[in-house]
Amino acid sequence: MGGKIFAVLVIVIAIASAVPIITHTFLGASVTPPQDISTHGAEIDKQLDETMIEAGLSFLAAQLLLGVFVWQFGGRKAGPLKNFPGGSKYLVLAALLLVGAEAIALGAMGTKAWAKVYFQPASADALPIQAQAGQFAFYFRYAGPDGKFGAIHPEKIDEGNSNFFGLDPENDIPARDDITSGELVIPVNKEIHLMMHAKDVGHSFYVRELRIQQDFVPGLDLSLHFTATKVGRYEIVCTQLCGLGHYNMKAYLNVMSQDDFDKWLKAQSS
Amino acid sequence: MSEASAHAAQHAAPTGFIRKYVFSLDHKIIGLQYYGLALVAVVIGMVLSWLMRIHLIAPNWPIPGLQFLSKVGAPGGVMTPEYYLSLMTMHGTLMVFFVLTNAPFAAFGNYFLPIQIGAEDMAFPRFNMMSFWTTFVAFCILISAFFVGDGPPLSGWTAYAPLSAVGADSGPGQGLGQTLWGLSIFVFCIASLLGSLNFIATTLDLRTKGMTLARMPICTWAWFITACISLLAFAVLLPACLLLVLDRVGGTSFFIPSGLNISDHLQPHQGGSPLLWQHLFWFFGHPEVYIAILPAIGIVSHILINSMRKPMLSQKVIIYCMMSIGFLSYMVWGHHMFLSGMNPFSALVFSFPTLMITIPATIMTLIWLGSLYGSNLRINTASLFCLGFISMFVSGGVSGFFLAQPSIDIYLHATYFVVGHFHMVMGVAAIFAVFAGTYFWFPKMTGRMMNETLGRLHFWLTFIGTYCIFMPFHYLGLAGNVRRYSAFTDDFLVPLLPVHKFITYSALFTGAVQLIFLFNLIYSRFKGTPATANPWEATSLEWSTPSSPPPFDNFGGVHPVVYHDPYQYGVKSSTADYLMQTSPERAGETP
């Protein structure tokens, strides 16, 4: 009796688990990644879908087999024992070949998507923006008309006077025209070269729609490049535990047309 | 070998209460002490998870009584965001170290490894006692963080530097609380090293006559392999914690670079690297996953064979799989750090062996499934938990396929998908094995059977409950729900709140169900049906002891002689369908 209940239960659970994945919704909430707005995201999504199919089939097959075998042999009157046809040899071979091939294929295909984000540097005409993460806010900096960023002086950081980056405009000429913003405003269809700087502890930059996530590491200035393809406003959230305000550390990514962006930039520098 | 066993048995059975039950040299008592400590830790850890789950669906709701735990952290019972993180840190640390490392490995391993190889005790009984009491000290240091200054640390069980290294500037709990955390884990590492050495020496040196390595039960193998992993893993975490504590109190800068401005204070550090901590931590952290799950695999295989009344399709293959998992576990730590800023090429180097780990895991799963085929599977609480383990292991395992790929990790990293993955495969699966082990070995440890009706009820409700909790975590992760948030105020997270409510209700329900287990444990200890000598008709040496619980020297002054492989089930014999390892019947005929 217990064996039959288990068999039914495990099969019901397996199918019920798969339903939200297939229907994309659970208790009214969408459980699918939101629409991708980047040039590289399609490959990540494709990789995710393919993995979902392969992992999903393995999951269902294993749970169903477990259910079927327990149904068939669980709690039965002791009878003659049987061995799985072929013994362990074919099972080991199947795991080696199938899973091995699956792993190698997924690994190789996934490399492409990864490479697109990380293996090529930003192109020369990408728009450089500096992002700084600190407890518990993001700030963004544009180089201004001279195209040069002023140097960061951690000891000069003074949030009360809006000197978030610790600039020294008195002695540092490139710093004078730098534009600081609490929102990441970017032109659509233009490659962005994001230079990432952590002010205090580790943080992370995550925009679901952009399919981008990257840690800010103190002492290690990293860079990231991406192109947004859709005008709109999207949330940037911190995903690296950074302290008590972590849950509230966010900013917005504002993707504008090139014209709107130029106007915005002009308004900022005046 | 017998010479060594005789040597180990030199200490006589103690008579006083303190030497018998408190500072005991007896591996069985030490095993029970580990089990008891894990039980206390799991109850605290579970209550913490309840508090967190309640807070997540109702951040402003006062939780009655919480203000007594911390006036600052929960004024009027309403948890502050920082206190949420503190409870989360303590939950993770307690569960990973004091439950998942202690229960399947240290508790059951201590109790049964020596018996299963026919030894009278561990190779170094005094080290064994020391390892438990050192663990206990580590536990006390960790718990004391609740009651100091501004409370427990909030940097998570992974304690990423520099948040964990710079001291009180970085937030509440990051003062003394974080230092206590570092010290606690440092002490825990010492205890684990002592324990691992003991397990290895015992397995290699104290096997009784006829007990070749090939004749050891699968769980003995699992504990042995785990001890080897643990020896190398904790040996790395130990200095890492020491360096962390030095950064905090000694003014060093191992993990802190220059130029950090924290809470308007320029930090007086330079030259350190936050990534160094991550490398050291995960070099331990990934093998740690297998320290929790390999003993579980061993226990489940051991019990399942007994329930199926036939050996596994291949015992050797399972052991080789465990070894290869242990070996691979040291090459994959970087998959926790794909987005940490290390060289992106290294992501591919770490991704490949991670994907490869699915091969031995799949082989083991297929062997379990293939062995079920054609068996005379007996259904009882212990075997149900084993079957539940297989189901959980599969469910938690397949999600690893996503996270092993750096390109997908870009999206899923630090989301609830990860939380769902490791809770299922490392948390629930390992706990299911502990439950299975408890129901199976309870008659040996106490001389009484656990109540079967309550046991089954416990299983059905827990099995359904854990799926209801942890499966939706994956959906949340796919929707991009970030982890370690104390409230979901972001626009895109708000629509997901119904899912969180469902999870919270499931967690409260499943947690409450564990009271059935606790009641059963206590009730059966005193009122359970007395157990027969070999209630499960099992073959391995723990069922050859003269009494239950076994006498101080396990076999009553006799050295058992082993004639067979551990799992002679489904064979023709005078006793029924099995041959005990100590039975001379048909000696020489079977392997």
pLDDT on residue A110: 84
pLDDT on residue B234: 97
Contacts of A63 in chain B (CB under 8 A): 391, 394-395
Q: Give Cα B158 distance to the centre of its chain.
A: 16
pLDDT on residue B11: 62
Counted residue by residue, chain A has a size of 270
| Per-domain residue ranges of chain A | 2-75+87-118, 127-269
Peptide bond into B549 cis (omega under 30): yes
Residue B380 belongs to some domain of the structure? no
Residue B327 CA: distances (Å) to CA of B275, B283, B291, B296, B484: 23, 12, 12, 17, 31
Nearest to B434 by CA among B142, B219, B233, B285: B219
Name which of A213, A225, A252 to mutate to probe chain B: the one with the most chain B Cβ atoms within 10 A of its Cβ: A213
Does A31 sit within 8 Å of B170, measured CB to CB? no
Rounded mean pLDDT, A122-137: 95
Q: Kind and range of the H or E element at A160? A: none
The pair of three-digit structure tokens given for residue B227, joined into one six-digit string: 């001890």
What pTM was computed for the model?
0.95
Distance of residue A31 Cα from the nearest chain B Cα, in angstroms: 5
Q: Is the ipTM of this complex over 0.90?
A: yes
Query: Pick the residue with more confidence: A151 or B11?
Result: A151
Residue B89 belongs to some domain of the structure? yes
Nearest to B106 by CA among B93, B91, B84, B122: B122
CB-CB contact of B355 with B401 (8 Å): yes
Nearest to B154 by CA among B129, B128, B178, B135: B178
How many whole angstroms separate alpha carbon B400 and alpha carbon A235?
A: 27
Give the total number of structural domains in chain B.
2
Residue A114: which of B340, B356, B407 has the nearest Cβ? B407
Does A104 sit within 8 Å of B358, measured CB to CB? no
Rounded mean pLDDT, B365-379: 95
Distance of residue A261 Cα from the nearest chain B Cα, in angstroms: 24
Share of chain A above pLDDT 70, in %: 100
DSSP B339: T
CB-CB contact of B389 with B368 (8 Å): no
Residue A2: which of B264, B384, B488 has the nearest Cβ? B384
CB-CB contact of B235 with B299 (8 Å): no
Name which of A152, A163, A200, A207 to mutate to probe chain B: the one with the most chain B Cβ atoms within 10 A of its Cβ: A200
Does A30 sit within 8 Å of B372, measured CB to CB? no
pLDDT, tens digit (0-9, with 9 covering 90-100), for B199-258: 999 999 999 999 999 999 999 999 999 999 999 999 999 999 999 999 999 999 999 999
Share of chain A above pLDDT 90, in %: 75
pLDDT, tens digit (0-9, with 9 covering 90-100), for B487-538: 988 788 899 999 999 999 999 999 999 999 999 999 999 999 999 999 999 9
pLDDT at A44 over 80: yes
The band of B583, judged by pLDDT with boundaries at 50, 70 and 90, is very high
pLDDT at B398 over 90: yes
Name which of A83, A114, A119 to mutate to probe chain B: the one with the most chain B Cβ atoms within 10 A of its Cβ: A114
Residue B272 CA: distances (Å) to CA of A68, A141, A175, B276: 56, 27, 28, 8
Q: Kind and range of the H or E element at B318? A: helix B315-328
pLDDT on residue B2: 44
pLDDT, tens digit (0-9, with 9 covering 90-100), for A195-250: 999 999 999 999 999 999 999 999 998 999 999 999 999 999 999 999 999 999 99
Does B266 sit within 8 Å of A154, measured CB to CB? yes
> Among the residues of B206-314, which ranges form H helices?
218-249, 274-308
The pair of three-digit structure tokens given for residue B96, joined into one six-digit string: 């990973």
> What is the per-residue DSSP string for A79-91?
------TTHHHHH
How many whole angstroms separate alpha carbon B372 and alpha carbon A74?
A: 9
Residue B484: which of A9, A92, A241 has the nearest Cβ? A241
Q: Nearest residue of B to residue A23 by CA position?
A: B475
pLDDT on residue B3: 45
Rounded mean pLDDT, A4-22: 96
pLDDT on residue B54: 96
pLDDT on residue A77: 85
pLDDT on residue B7: 47
The pair of three-digit structure tokens given for residue B521, joined into one six-digit string: 């444990």
Does A54 sit within 8 Å of B476, measured CB to CB? no
Q: Give Cα B226 distance to the centre of its chain.
A: 11
How many whole angstroms separate alpha carbon B312 and alpha carbon B195?
A: 29
SS3 annotation, A109-140 = HHHHHHHHHHCCCCCCCCEEEEEEEECCEEEE
CB-CB contact of A241 with B155 (8 Å): yes
Q: Nearest residue of A to residue B413 by CA position?
A: A213
pLDDT on residue B15: 84
Task: Look at residues B158, B183, B208 and tell me which one is the last residue of a structural domain.
Answer: B183
Q: Kind and range of the H or E element at B325? A: helix B315-328
Share of chain B above pLDDT 70, in %: 98
pLDDT at B184 over 50: yes
Over chain B, what is the mean pLDDT?
Answer: 94
pLDDT on residue B586: 86
User: Is it true that domain A127-269 has CATH number 3.40.50.2000?
Assistant: no
Residue A170: which residues within 8 A CB-CB, separation 6 or more? Answer: none
pLDDT on residue B302: 97
pLDDT, tens digit (0-9, with 9 covering 90-100), for B260-318: 999 888 999 999 999 999 999 999 999 999 999 999 999 999 999 999 999 999 999 99
CB-CB contact of B421 with B408 (8 Å): no
Residue A237: which of B256, B339, B490 has the nearest Cβ? B490
pLDDT on residue B362: 95
The band of B4, judged by pLDDT with boundaries at 50, 70 and 90, is very low
Query: For strand A184-187 and strand A179-181, is the pairing parallel, antiparallel, or unpaired?
Result: unpaired
Rounded mean pLDDT, B367-373: 95
Q: Nearest residue of B to residue A165 by CA position?
A: B261
pLDDT on residue B172: 85
On the 0-12 / 13-18 / 19+ scale of CB atoms within 10 A, B59 is middle
Distance of residue A13 Cα from the nearest chain B Cα, in angstroms: 8
Q: Nearest residue of A to residue B475 by CA position?
A: A31
Residue B37 belongs to some domain of the structure? yes
- Nearest-10 Cα torsion for B552, B556, B561, B565: -50
Does A5 sit within 8 Å of B405, measured CB to CB? no
Domain extent at residue B551:
530-591
pLDDT, tens digit (0-9, with 9 covering 90-100), for B112-152: 999 999 999 999 999 999 999 999 999 999 999 999 888 89
> What is the per-residue DSSP string for B365-426?
HHHHHHHHTT-----SHHHHHHHHHHHHHHHHHHTHHHHTSHHHHHHHTTBHHHHHHHIIII
Name which of B261, B277, B279, B496 to mutate to probe chain A: the one with the most chain A Cβ atoms within 10 A of its Cβ: B261
Cβ of A90: how many Cβ atoms within 10 Å? 14
CB-CB contact of A193 with A223 (8 Å): yes
Name which of A152, A158, A159, A247 to mutate to probe chain B: the one with the most chain B Cβ atoms within 10 A of its Cβ: A247
Contacts of B490 in chain A (CB under 8 A): 235, 237, 250
State the residue for tokens 């799985």.
A84
Q: 3-state DSSP call for residue A194?
A: strand
Over chain A, what is the mean pLDDT?
Answer: 93
Residue B118 belongs to some domain of the structure? yes
Distance of residue A241 Cα from the nearest chain B Cα, in angstroms: 7
Does A26 sit within 8 Å of B363, measured CB to CB? no
pLDDT, tens digit (0-9, with 9 covering 90-100), for B36-86: 999 999 999 999 999 999 999 999 999 998 998 888 889 999 999 999 999
pLDDT, tens digit (0-9, with 9 covering 90-100), for A170-185: 999 999 899 999 999 9
